[in-house]
Amino acid sequence: MSDCHPPLADLRIIESSLLGPAALTTCFADLGAEVIKVESPAGDYIREMTWPIIEGTSLMHYHLNRGKKSMVLDLKTEEGREIYKELVKDADVVVETMRPGALARLGLGFEDLRKVNPEIVFINISGYGATGPYQRMPSHGIAYDTWAGAVTPAYDEEGFCYIPEHISVGIAAAPFFGGLAMLAGVLRARETGVGCEMELGQSDAAAFFDWYRIESHMAYARPEDVVTGNKADGYKRRPVGTAGMKMGVRYQLYESADGHVLFMASEQAFWKNFCEGVGRMDLFEKWPGSRYADHAPGNRELQAELRDIFRTRTSQEWLQFSSDVNTPIAPVNTSANIVDDPQFKARFKILPHEEHGADMLAFPVHFAGEELPVPSRAPTVGQHTEEVLRDVLGYGDNRIQSLRESGALGPGQLKQQA
């Protein structure tokens, strides 16, 4: 690893989080920010949630809270609240990942904290945001995906409705939109000396992530002589988003000799290259298609020809063919086997379970000529309480002992560590 200054080494974040929304600061910790996770004496029960559970602790905790420091403060005590304010005094960001107003009810909301630090950036991430009729409804992560229309109900063989396998959108998208806004707030605060308050619903993030389908539906609500399909489709409207791919032929999934591949020759030049490469120029001559965006929708005769052609080679042979003749063909992996893909192996660094509790994907952005610091293992409850009190706030032994006795650090929490 190169001896470098991590990109966010000068950023300090005070985080009051529960469960999945802690993802907001995970990438910040990966990029070198100091993230101090302030927990109640009971701790964040994310450590017991979902599956898999690895040696008594959830994968979700190992991944989302890696690289962070955990300290315990009982914010129901006056001393605990005062320590929190001291932490905020020299911090850049306060993150509240629970229903809006939780910290404010303790006297630690944005208006309270800006008196301590006028440059503080305060962000709340909740389920449905701070406004609207759903704002106080209890919820969990999949709710934001169902609300946003990203999950289609499925039925089993007995007719019972169930949640189908899908990518979790809201809990994954919110950290990226929220993180971008956080950095924008910090940049402005450092320039102007004025902080800000912001809030984001994970449901908002799920909907915004699916902007193409939502905006397409809104576009199709307008007159057909104003909003049409594309030129290659004769301007005929196709179903919205990827639903319109069902009838695609030159842009479609095909079986290979040992799996599946995705064929994407929607440009005429790529289609010609493919036909030349497989020695079937008769296909191009019969169906040359349009110059751009032509998927040959509904052409079952051509689809049958392609089905038979793709079955003649393995997936790996088709990938080599793609490079050799310059036509787009992609592998079709699963979340289980993608780790064996050579491109995945070349691009991703795995944080090993021996050091991190679970095998996890490292931050995916590559900084040329340097390596990011390896995040530390996700903390146990209050693991860094004394370290933060000493190194960040400069407290001595007597002050820490007094706080232990007052209960501000939780009942006996640090005594067990001592």
Element (H, E) at 16: strand 12-17
Question: What's the pLDDT at 3?
Answer: 60
Q: How far is CA 195 from CA 112, 121, 343, 349, in A?
A: 13, 5, 42, 36
CA distance 321 to 91: 54
Confidence of residue 412 (pLDDT cuts 50, 70, 90): low
CA distance 281 to 274: 9
CA distance 145 to 136: 18
Cβ count within 10 A of residue 14 = 25
Measured in Å, how far apart are the chain's first and last C-alpha atoms? 33
- Which of 241, 236, 137, 121 minimizes the C-alpha distance to 186? 121
CA distance 93 to 37: 12
Confidence of residue 8 (pLDDT cuts 50, 70, 90): very high
CA distance 169 to 207: 9
Confidence of residue 232 (pLDDT cuts 50, 70, 90): confident
> Does residue 229 have a pLDDT over 70?
yes
**pLDDT digit string (tens) for 333-390?**
999 999 999 999 999 999 999 999 999 999 999 999 999 999 999 999 999 999 999 9
- Structure tokens, 188: 């402005």
**pLDDT digit string (tens) for 145-169?**
999 999 999 999 999 999 999 999 9
Question: What's the pLDDT at 417?
Answer: 41
CA distance 148 to 369: 40
Is residue 11 within 8 A of residue 93, CB to CB? The reply is yes
Give residues with Cβ within 8 angstroms of 318, minimum separation 6. Answer: 256, 261, 310, 329
- Delineate the domains of the chain, giving CATH numbers in brackets: 12-208+349-406 (3.40.50.10540), 244-332 (3.30.1540.10)
